[in-house]
Amino acid sequence: MASSDNHPDFDAVVVGAGFAGLGMLRRLREEHGMSVQVYETGAGVGGTWYWNRYPGARCDSESYIYCFSFSQELLQDWNWSGKYPEQPEILSYLNHVADRFDLRRNIQFNTRVTSARFREDINLWEVQTDQNNRVTSQFLITGIGCISSGNVPSIKGLDSFEGEWYHTGRWPHEKVEFSGKRVAVIGTGSSGIQSIPVIARQAEHLTVFQRTPQYTIPARHDTVDRKFLEDVVKPNYDEIFEQARWSTGGFPVNRDERSALQVTAAERLEAYEAGWAEGGIRFLSTSFKDIGTDRRANDTMAEFIRKKIREIVADPETTEKLMPTDHPFGSKRPLIDTDYFATYNQENVELVDIRHSPIQEITPDGIRTEDQQFQFDMIVFATGFDAMTGTYLRMDIRGRNDLSLQDKWSEGPKTYLGLQTAEFPNLFMITGPGSPSVLSNMPVSIEQHIDWIAGLLQYVREHDIKSVEAHVDAEAAWVSHVNEVAEPTMYMLADSWYLGANIPGKPRVFMPYVGGVGTYREKCNEIADNGYEGFILA
């Protein structure tokens, strides 16, 4: 039922119950006394970690920093078991958060928001769901995730396939049995890299269809170092998070301030070997300062990884196929693996290069490429997501003058700070395009947006403001700035999902903000301190 006057049903409707939605709900309800309704498509909380249940699904951020920081008690009480938490552990953490802060009572599960319309006559959002809810709210806040809409490529014949098929991002809740089966995995992004070694250990035969050879760094996964957690992390959590908040990538690490080109070859090798031995995202995040900006510096690291691949993989033909030479290291989502390259030494694993011999069609019993026909019992699509904008555009969101977000973003997303888009008053996006989001340790970025939005809503209430809207000039300036900072980086030299290159027809625009988490935070704070410069407060 929608209100007929301008008294909304809720102060805020929040879409999504992952990190973003849960954190936003708690903040607005507990600290600002607002009435909040959350809608979530899934049957439970967790977002990414509710949906991505594929074998090997794991976080690449170390567990002690992949969590909320708003409650010191929560930080102290929760004990991670894995250095890099696996999907079930993160899901159980988020369930714990939901229970501990009594969040479920404001969440309606199994409910997808299908449309949201800004009603100019009453200055409210009218939100519609697939469960026939129609409610109004003053604010609409999206916590819908940057990589939450799976991308199954449209390949001729998929409907005719007689075996089982799955997308990693919508994995069944029941156990999927691989033993005795001939399995295909299509895609070698993060989900592929994580799942391939696990599937290879169980399947009778595994065929990997690779379009892009990847650089990937050994995770060196382990159980959590209890002593490190108790002696170093827990007593210093405030400082650790503060360092992460002002860092480039949302991790409490310091980059090597030297240039890769100014040290000797021996010093460089020593640094790379140390990073490789330690493993994980630190290999990139603590590396020389110019890896992301200077192709020659980047080449030194890329060649180091290629040498490692040559050392690990036995078969020369497979090694050649695995060699990443077409894009700089770090220009695509950094990958962290456990035994990925070594998996290709297993007798039951085969690699097919679909860049040179593309998939033609899926047949009732398998896959046909230009060169060959393969028989499979199961196909796993590890083909990623329609990132950053896909989930927005799957809803029908309309702002002033019935302008749809689809039309507004037809040439790529346009936002001010990744937080708002002009003509859509009182709509706030958590980690929207134009914010550091996917280039960072996301809980740190999510909490920054939650804090900033909550601060603005408090300001709005205190000043009796009815609507907040990004000014179109501020938005245009921000979009230019986002492009300008991305332009000289390695990111522009790869066909990545950051650029929308994985989705046919998607505008090719670099979507996240590469300026760094700390710089971005500073800009957001400055804007708030200047009376929310660039926003129209009416």
Residue 432 vs 515, nearer CB to ligand FAD: 432
Neighbours of 529 (CB within 10 A): 9
Residue 109, both tokens:
């599960």
Alpha carbon separation from 75 to 30, 72, 235 (Å, rounded): 18, 5, 10
Residue 143 vs 330, nearer CB to ligand FAD: 143
Residue 176 CB, nearest approach to ligand FAD (Å): 16
Sign of CA dihedral 247, 84, 382, 396: negative
Residue 369 CB, nearest approach to ligand FAD (Å): 27
Alpha carbons 141 and 278: distance in angstroms, whole number: 39
Nearest to 511 by CA among 371, 392, 352: 392
Alpha carbons 386 and 392: distance in angstroms, whole number: 10
Q: DSSP H helical segments within 280-404, as ranges?
A: 282-285, 295-312, 316-322, 340-343, 390-393
Contacts with ligand FAD by CB under 6 A lie at 15-21, 39-42, 47-48, 50, 52, 57, 59-61, 112-113, 143-145, 147-148, 190-191, 391, 395, 430-431, 441-442, 446
Residue 195 CB, nearest approach to ligand FAD (Å): 10
Residue 116 CB, nearest approach to ligand FAD (Å): 9
Residue 17 vs 186, nearer CB to ligand FAD: 17
Residue 117 vs 182, nearer CB to ligand FAD: 117
**Conformational region of residue 406, where left means phi above 0, alpha means psi within -120 to 50, and beta covers everything else:** alpha
Residue 494 CB, nearest approach to ligand FAD (Å): 19
Count of alpha carbons within 13 angstroms of residue 506, beta-carbon side: 23
Alpha carbons 246 and 139: distance in angstroms, whole number: 29
Residue 8 vs 47, nearer CB to ligand FAD: 47
In single-letter form, the type of residue at position 463 comes to H
Residue 195 vs 426, nearer CB to ligand FAD: 195
Residue 284, both tokens:
């990139």
Residue 61 vs 318, nearer CB to ligand FAD: 61
Residue 141 vs 322, nearer CB to ligand FAD: 141
Rg (CA), the chain: 23
Residue 44 CB, nearest approach to ligand FAD (Å): 9
Residue 376 CB, nearest approach to ligand FAD (Å): 23
Residue 385 CB, nearest approach to ligand FAD (Å): 7
Encode burial over 184-207: b for 16+ CB neighbours within 10 A, e otherwise: bbbbbbbbbbbbbbbbbbbbebbb
Nearest to 206 by CA among 184, 180, 177, 178: 184
Residue 144 vs 460, nearer CB to ligand FAD: 144
Residue 360 CB, nearest approach to ligand FAD (Å): 29
Helix 442-462 vs helix 517-529: crossing angle, to nearest 10:
0
